[in-house]
Structure 1
Amino acid sequence: MVDPRTPVIVGVGQFTERLGDSGYRGMSSVDLAAAAAQAAVENTDADPATVAAAIDIIAGTRQFEISGRTPAPLGKSDNYPRSVAARIGADPARAVLEVIGGQSPQHLITEFAAAIAAGEADVVLVMGSENTSSLRYFADREDKPDHSEVVGGQLEDRGYGYDGIFDEYTVTHGLIGAPVQYGLLENARRARLGLSVADYRQAMAELFAPFSKVAAKNPYSSAPTERSVDELATVTAANRMICDPYPRLMVARDQVNQGAAALIMSVGSARELGVPEDKWVYLRGHADMKEQKLLERADLGASPASILAVHEALRVAGIGIDGIAAFDLYSCFAFPVFNICDGVGLSTEDERGLTLTGGLPFFGGPGNNYSLHGIAEAVNEMRDTPGRFALVGANGGIASKYSVGIYSTEPADWVADRSADLQAEVAAFPAVAVTEQADGAATIETYTVRYDWTPHTGVIVGRLDADGSRFLATTTDEALVALLSGGEPLGARISVRPTEKGNRATLA
């Protein structure tokens, strides 16, 4: 029998509304999260009102509309977690709003599972949502709803958490938005593997086509349509280039209205509240790691800190990668999936599959909250197949943060992880020198092209011939942009010069 302080996930819930479906309401982020939270409470098979009243902590991921300093277009709650709590009849002592990043759902699950094990909490609801579909739907309409709410009360707002993800230097050079950021990582990996542009795009399509098959069968998917490899790899008007190397169908689908929630409690509380044991799923393995800053990484085409997190979570669970029966690997783009496969020796064609939801390009990319849907699917999968293990890998920033959870119905007492100690290993990784104001002859280390800018703009990470230091530069030079978008620019000779608005590159 496990210790009564052992944390278990006892309820999960999801909600999706699709633009174009009958009954589409253009819901607020609060209402989306509340629908998922209510589903999670009811999923416990205990009395929903009693379970909701027992929640002593509610923790929310941060949706896009409150992830920056600009006002929320349709208004917002002054206390997102407490607005959700009120909808389901909960009045927790503590409300938490997490920092940005796709790692945040798994990070919160791990953090508050540990708090329960330590006796610092008994019942915790982790929830989140994204309402980008509503924001876009009402953007040009006269009948805009008002999603403003004033509820007050205690709130532990942890801030945006931008540190280590981007700064003035990266923003000046166009690293705004995930596609351009991950395009640099993707092409750096392509350089290491020695693949052509066409071969790498084919590999991405072969990775993602099976994801779309899963999404097509998932009732919570935002885009439940199966896509073929050719359909994903072929650039057309409907599958236009976003940023190299990505056509539209291979980037996270961000126009979604989705919510997800998970309810965690101690084994003792689960017994007291009457939650049946067949609902209990244990967090058997876990780890949280942060990567080096982008430009310091020795290999821009890899994220070794993420691999450390996976290995540590497996160690805590007491199993190897072969002991995992199901995976949900964060898939905003191909790179985070490829990186884990590269690092742990997992085939991209593994018969176990690499997603339980269908992945961010097809299931949907609900901002920072995607992996809470992955966790919900993992919990349900483990309940359906008792005794097996599922691994959820949650990625945030520019492969900046990675949180891993391993789930099973197989009981075991809580085991702490060594993430803090392992972080010292990351701090000791070799770091590449950076020259912010670059001048002289250089070569292209990696690159992307912003097709969403007029004129099309190349974003380059280069190395100076003089000292091998790394720099960022942009270019609108026709010859260089033509090479970046239609040739093989890796290793190409360029000239770079500093300006008041950042470094500019031209062909040498």
Structure 2
Amino acid sequence: TGTGPAALGWATAPGGPPAFDPDDLGSVAMQRAAMIAPTRVYPLFENRLSFDAGHGHDESVAWSAQLYAAFSEIAGNNPAAWNPDLRTAEDIATPGPRNRRVTDPYPLLMNAMPFVDQAAAVVVTSLAVARDLGIDDDKLVYVWGGAGATEPADVLARADFGRSAALADALARTLSRADIKARDLDIVDAYSCFPVVPKLLVEHLGLPRETVPSVTGGHSFFGGPLNSYTLHSIVAVARRLRTHGELALVHGNGGYLTYQHTVLLAAAPHTNGYIGDPEPVLLPATAPEAALDYQGDVEVVTATAEYGRDGNPATGFLVGLTPDGRRVSGYTDAAGAAILAAGPGVIGQTVRVVDAGGALTVTLTAQPSEESAS
């Protein structure tokens, strides 16, 4: 239209890093439990997923490191990548001065890097307009459609930490409306702020665990500020489709596995035209009743430990179930963090807690000796 951005109120000066309000980062229950940062919450999902998969701590880290090493190789071939330096699985898995422990089981290289200076743009038109603009048929990328689902923004209102009900729902509707199976996909590109997210996509699609769901390069290596990573994914996938003529699924994630959207893109139109289901499904709260200021034994549902700059566990985070099925959630001191740093190894175990406003004192329950057990 010839309208300059300044006339629309856009600023030319950089705005600096985005501000985060605690109320935007977590519910009252999450704030009480100090679970109000992605680096604290996503490991809770990771450790439960690992436990459900039968993985111990080392197996969990090895899967993440192998996946992210493959992402690093892809980013190294992407000219728009923020960090194209090749990182091996050993580089990624091994904590050190340039890869400090953040929150178990994620060292720094398994964390998203949101403060990067990158941008992308996508133009969506009708087929008629694209042809009027002179776009060759072999350069067209067709939007088949997709679906979305949203879980409660309060992570502690969800029953399951080892899967994503919203992702499962969005994928099921996306694939069923297109009348395809996961095995029909040539390209899968996952949002990847932390390893648990692409892992869940692979698991929910029923693909082999060796699958590398990216042609972009992942958050840690390609970059992509905050949720605009998915925009970069669409650009990378569109370029791939123009040269390979395939079918692709692009996945977007927001919040704490809260908002899940998937879209199918292809080099040819779907036989039924647009088959999308654009209205996201809102999923209900499913968590058990909260037990506040509880004292007693709990079974660990999931847990993690945040590390200090000295490399030692500093704060632990625990979600557990009381014997009568209520949920206890909170944070610990360094002593409790040392217990919860076992990650998948502590899940399913019984610990004793004293909850004082969300601050938990955690101790291991006495285990019966072999002699007394016999």
Provide the TM-score with structure 2 as the length reference: 0.85
AA paired with 2:10? S
Instruction: Give the Cα–Cα distance (whole angstroms) in 2 for the partners of residues 301 and 281 of structure 1.
Output: 35
Instruction: Give the Cα–Cα distance (whole angstroms) in 1 for the partners of residues 269 and 205 of structure 2.
Output: 26
Residue equivalent to 1:375: 234
2:221 to 344, 349, 362: 362
Instruction: Give the Cα–Cα distance (whole angstroms) in 1 for the partners of residues 309 and 360 of structure 2.
Output: 16
2:350 to 472, 493, 506: 493
Residue equivalent to 2:252: 394
CA RMSD of aligned residues (A): 3.0
CA separation of 1:233 and 1:78: change in aligned 2, threshold 3 A: farther
- CA deviations over 1:265-294 (Å, ceiling 9, x no partner): 122333444444333211113111112442
Instruction: Give the Cα–Cα distance (whole angstroms) in 1 for the partners of residues 138 and 348 of structure 2.
Output: 56
Instruction: Give the Cα–Cα distance (whole angstroms) in 2 for the partners of residues 178 and 364 of structure 1.
Output: 16
Residue equivalent to 2:77: 217
AA paired with 1:266? S
Q: Percent identity?
A: 29
CA separation of 1:477 and 1:257: change in aligned 2, threshold 3 A: closer
Instruction: Give the Cα–Cα distance (whole angstroms) in 2 for the partners of residues 220 and 195 of structure 1.
Output: 35
SS for the counterpart of 2:290 is coil
Residue equivalent to 2:243: 384
Instruction: Give the Cα–Cα distance (whole angstroms) in 1 for the partners of residues 61 and 47 of structure 2.
Output: 10
Contact kept in structure 1, 2:30 and 2:156, CA below 8 Å: no
CA separation of 1:401 and 1:436: change in aligned 2, threshold 3 A: farther
Contact kept in structure 1, 2:66 and 2:89, CA below 8 Å: yes
- CA deviations over 1:147-183 (Å, ceiling 9, x no partner): xxxxxxxxxxxxx9x78x7212212322222111101
1:496: Cα distance to partner?
Answer: 2.8
Residue equivalent to 1:316: 177
1:214: Cα distance to partner?
Answer: 0.2
AA paired with 1:383? R
2:288 to 432, 440, 465: 432
2:315 to 424, 441, 457: 457
Contact kept in structure 2, 1:473 and 1:504, CA below 8 Å: yes
1:335: Cα distance to partner?
Answer: 0.7
1:406 to 264, 278, 284: 264
1:486: Cα distance to partner?
Answer: 5.2
AA paired with 1:377? A
Instruction: Give the Cα–Cα distance (whole angstroms) in 2 for the partners of residues 316 and 327 of structure 1.
Output: 17
Contact kept in structure 2, 1:287 and 1:419, CA below 8 Å: yes
In the alignment, structure 2 segments of 5+ residues that lack a partner are 366-374
SS for the counterpart of 2:219 is coil
Instruction: Give the Cα–Cα distance (whole angstroms) in 2 for the partners of residues 489 and 435 of structure 1.
Output: 20
SS for the counterpart of 1:202 is helix
1:452: Cα distance to partner?
Answer: 4.5
Provide the TM-score with structure 1 as the length reference: 0.64
Instruction: Give the Cα–Cα distance (whole angstroms) in 2 for the partners of residues 486 and 402 of structure 1.
Output: 29
CA separation of 1:491 and 1:318: change in aligned 2, threshold 3 A: closer
AA paired with 1:355? S
Instruction: Give the Cα–Cα distance (whole angstroms) in 1 for the partners of residues 269 and 53 of structure 2.
Output: 42
1:342: Cα distance to partner?
Answer: 1.2
1:441: Cα distance to partner?
Answer: 2.3
Instruction: Give the Cα–Cα distance (whole angstroms) in 1 for the partners of residues 47 and 303 of structure 2.
Output: 7
SS for the counterpart of 1:405 is strand
1:183 to 43, 53, 60: 43
- CA deviations over 1:26-68 (Å, ceiling 9, x no partner): xxxxxxxxxxxxxxxxxxxxxxxxxx669xxx9xxxxxxxxxx
1:489: Cα distance to partner?
Answer: 2.4
1:78: Cα distance to partner?
Answer: 11
AA paired with 1:395? N
Residue equivalent to 1:326: 187
Residue equivalent to 1:198: 58
CA separation of 1:243 and 1:176: change in aligned 2, threshold 3 A: same
Residue equivalent to 2:201: 340
Instruction: Give the Cα–Cα distance (whole angstroms) in 2 for the partners of residues 176 and 243 of structure 1.
Output: 13
SS for the counterpart of 2:288 is coil
Instruction: Give the Cα–Cα distance (whole angstroms) in 2 for the partners of residues 305 and 431 of structure 1.
Output: 15
SS for the counterpart of 2:120 is strand
CA separation of 1:302 and 1:486: change in aligned 2, threshold 3 A: closer
1:477: Cα distance to partner?
Answer: 4.9
Instruction: Give the Cα–Cα distance (whole angstroms) in 1 for the partners of residues 322 and 7 of structure 2.
Output: 48
SS for the counterpart of 2:118 is strand
CA separation of 1:78 and 1:310: change in aligned 2, threshold 3 A: farther
Q: Is 1:291 paired with 2:147?
A: no
Instruction: Give the Cα–Cα distance (whole angstroms) in 1 for the partners of residues 132 and 216 of structure 2.
Output: 32
AA paired with 2:333? T
Following superposition of structure 1 onto structure 2, how do residues 34-45 of structure 1 map, counting pairs within 5 Å?
Answer: none
Count of equivalent residues: 355
Contact kept in structure 2, 1:189 and 1:302, CA below 8 Å: yes
Contact kept in structure 2, 1:473 and 1:496, CA below 8 Å: no
Contact kept in structure 1, 2:32 and 2:330, CA below 8 Å: no
CA separation of 1:459 and 1:206: change in aligned 2, threshold 3 A: same
CA separation of 1:399 and 1:486: change in aligned 2, threshold 3 A: closer
- CA deviations over 1:88-111 (Å, ceiling 9, x no partner): xxxxxxxxxxxxxxxxxxxxxxxx
Instruction: Give the Cα–Cα distance (whole angstroms) in 2 for the partners of residues 227 and 393 of structure 1.
Output: 24
Residue equivalent to 2:99: 239
AA paired with 1:286? G
Which is worse superposed, 369-378 or 277-286?
Answer: 277-286
CA separation of 1:78 and 1:397: change in aligned 2, threshold 3 A: farther
1:251: Cα distance to partner?
Answer: 1.1
Contact kept in structure 2, 1:475 and 1:505, CA below 8 Å: yes
